[in-house]
């Protein structure tokens, strides 16, 4: 699975953004799924294939990294990297710009 994020400064996919938010604290796959479902009030639910495809892509990009020692038999956990945090910050700035533009246009339309 290939996730097309930030191609030429474009938007992150919602899945990528939510996974990054879910691993600001160490979290394993099932915990990430539950975080996303809870945080979005059930609007977004990820299947295992989608989630693990996203995790693998984010590890490859070095936006998240394995966390802790998996030799102790616990589930594999992940944590966001500094690069991942930079991508989240960039996405927040991009979303803020889009929100400001949309708000301006809608306000102007309502004033007419």
**Per-residue pLDDT for 58 more than 70?**
yes
Assess if residue 2 is contained within a domain: no
Task: Kindly compute the dihedral angle of the four CA atoms of residues 14, 4, 2, 78, in this order, to the nearest 10 degrees.
Answer: -50
Examine residue 9 and state whether it is found in any structural domain, yes or no.
no
Q: What is the mean pLDDT of residues 37-64?
A: 95
Question: Do the domain assignments include residue 1?
Answer: no
Residue 83 lies in a domain: yes
User: pTM value?
Assistant: 0.84
- Do 16 and 58 contact (CB within 8 A), yes or no? yes
Bin 6: left if φ > 0, else alpha if -120 < ψ < 50, else beta.
left
Q: Number of folded domains in the chain? A: 1
Domain containing 71 equals 14-111
Residue at 93 is within a domain: yes
Q: What is the mean pLDDT of residues 42-60?
A: 95
Residue 7 in any domain: the answer is: no
In sequence order, what DSSP letters do the residues of 22-36 get, joined into one string?
A: HTSS-EEHHHHHHHH
CATH number for the domain spanning 38: value is 1.10.10.10
């Amino acid at each position: 699975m290939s996730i097309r994020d930030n191609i030429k400064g474009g938007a992150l996919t919602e899945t990528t953004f939510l996974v990054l938010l879910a691993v600001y604290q160490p979290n394993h796959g099932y915990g990430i799924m539950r975080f996303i479902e809870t945080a979005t009030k059930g609007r977004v639910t990820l299947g295992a294939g989608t989630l693990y495809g996203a995790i693998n892509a984010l590890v490859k990009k070095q936006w998240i990294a394995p966390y802790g020692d998996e030799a102790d038999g616990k589930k594999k956990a992940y944590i966001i990297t500094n690069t991942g945090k930079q991508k989240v910050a960039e996405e927040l700035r991009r979303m803020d710009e889009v929100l400001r533009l949309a708000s301006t246009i809608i306000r102007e339309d309502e004033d007419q």
